[in-house]
Amino acid sequence: MILFVFSSCNRTADNRPDNGKEKLSWLNSEYGLMGIEALNGPNNLTSRFASNTIKTNIFDIFKAKKELVIKVKNDVNSSPLGDVFLLKLRTNAEIQDIASQYDSLDFVEYAEPNFQVELSDDGVNKYNDEASTVDQVHANSDIVVAVIDSGVDVNHKDLKNRIVAGYDAVSDDKDVSDDYGHGTHVAGIIASNSSAKIMPIKFTDGKTGKMSDLAKAIKFAVDNDVDVINLSLGLKKKSALLMDSVDYAFKNDISVVSAAGNYNTSKKYYPAAYGKVIAVTGLANDGTKLPQSNFGTWVDYAVKAQDILSTMPGNKYGYATGTSQAAPFVTAKIVRILEKTKDLSIRSILIELGKISTSINTGKFALLLGREL
């Protein structure tokens, strides 16, 4: 512990170095670097950062915990998490200001806060313990959908025959238990509208989770050869790490379906607003836009998503409304297309979706809700 105190005595804002390596050392010390994680596993570049943790002032432990994502430039490694590091800091400085400082280093491709990602969740408004929504049969196709969410109740009577081994990106293990219920509800919609197998991948224990865990979850899905990825989640800010992750899926010809968000705004919501992602918003039962659903020219499809009955943990069922419920309906449509021709490209899938959907070109939200499926 004495090392922390003595080595930090050389830190002064007036002596900020210009040299890249020295500036990195200064930044790590200035912003209280307490730990580092290579998102793609052990990496020999970790030492470039970790050697500076001993320069952190012991009194930094009383400052706020903050996390920063850093990607180091590397023309060889094409993995979305290759040379991506999570810096764990103790500082009262603004995280966006810190990101700008690291981003200015010549060997850093980008630096950004470890954003909080939210489930596109308006909550379950009514439970029905007696309902049954999914046929009690084994999946009869070999199409696998990754439900990246709060986990899934893999023992639910209506889902247990549809589950393949998944991953918990939060704890880095295989326990995908769903204590929140959102992921189980989403999985039930997919299972009741297709014969897909469900790969539950947990990136959060509650309503929000970390971008770093979401990136690991997407990478796991791609590396384990899923056919479709469902993301009933998002955030209002652009994230380079999230863009890298969905690009990785796209390069592997995996469709990514995402909720458009529940803020009743045309402002872009990510990853849905990324051009390569299929953005889905919600309609009321009368065909009008759900009051809370986002809209805009960046939305691809709209689906009725009001009072949707689906599975909940503990062999229960519940009704929920929102774009979280809309997205899995489109995911299920893609599964049914792939059941006919498994190796279709993303482009071909979009052509097939176009054949079974109609443009919403009248009313207040004309051309702002995409096509109705």
User: Residue 66: what are its φ and ψ, rounded to 5°?
Assistant: -140, 155
The rounded distance, in Å, linking the Cα atoms of 119 and 183 is: 9
Among 114, 131, 149, the domain boundary falls at: 114
Q: Burial level of 294, CB count in 10 A (0-12/13-18/19+)?
A: buried
Q: Report yes or no: 198 and 164 within 8 Å, Cβ to Cβ.
A: yes
Residue ranges making up the domain that contains 37? 2-114
Please give the order of strands across the beta sheet that includes 233-234. 208-210, 116-119, 233-234
Do 197 and 338 fall into the same domain?
yes
Contacts of 143 (CB under 8 A, 6+ apart): 194, 195, 196, 197, 227, 228, 335, 338, 339, 342
**Torsion sign across C-alpha atoms 115, 239, 249, 142:** positive
Among 91, 114, 137, the domain boundary falls at: 114
Do 131 and 272 fall into the same domain?
yes
Model confidence over 199-217: pLDDT tens digits?
999 999 999 999 999 999 9
Strands (E), the chain: 33-38, 65-72, 84-90, 108-113, 116-119, 124-127, 144-149, 167-168, 197-202, 208-210, 228-231, 233-234, 255-259, 278-283, 301-304, 308-312, 316-320, 358-359, 371-372
Q: How many helices (H) and strands (E) does the chain have?
A: 9, 19
Model confidence over 281-296: pLDDT tens digits?
999 999 999 999 999 9
Q: Check residue 372 and give its pLDDT.
A: 98
How many degrees, rounded to 5, is the angle at CA 246 between CA 139 and CA 312? 40
User: Residue 258: what are its φ and ψ, rounded to 5°?
Assistant: -135, 145
The rounded distance, in Å, linking the Cα atoms of 193 and 23 is: 55
Do 91 and 125 fall into the same domain?
no
The rounded distance, in Å, linking the Cα atoms of 86 and 215 is: 12
Q: Check residue 9 and give its pLDDT.
A: 35
SS3 call for 122: coil
Residues identified as active-site: 149, 182, 324
Do 312 and 331 fall into the same domain?
yes
Return left, alpha or beta for 370; rule: phi > 0 is left, psi -120 to 50 is alpha, else beta.
left
Do 285 and 300 fall into the same domain?
yes
Do 90 and 224 fall into the same domain?
no
Do 140 and 164 fall into the same domain?
yes
Q: Burial level of 19, CB count in 10 A (0-12/13-18/19+)?
A: exposed
The rounded distance, in Å, linking the Cα atoms of 85 and 43 is: 9
Bond into 313 cis (ω within 30): no
Return left, alpha or beta for 322; rule: phi > 0 is left, psi -120 to 50 is alpha, else beta.
left
Q: Which parts of the chain have pLDDT scores under 50?
A: 1-13
Do 147 and 211 fall into the same domain?
yes
First-to-last CA distance in the chain? 61
Among 46, 81, 114, the domain boundary falls at: 114
Do 126 and 271 fall into the same domain?
yes
Domain CATH number, residue 307: 3.40.50.200
Do 82 and 160 fall into the same domain?
no
Do 259 and 330 fall into the same domain?
yes
Do 191 and 110 fall into the same domain?
no
Share of the chain above pLDDT 70, in %: 85
Q: How many domains does the chain fold into? A: 2
pTM as predicted: 0.91
Q: Check residue 136 and give its pLDDT.
A: 52
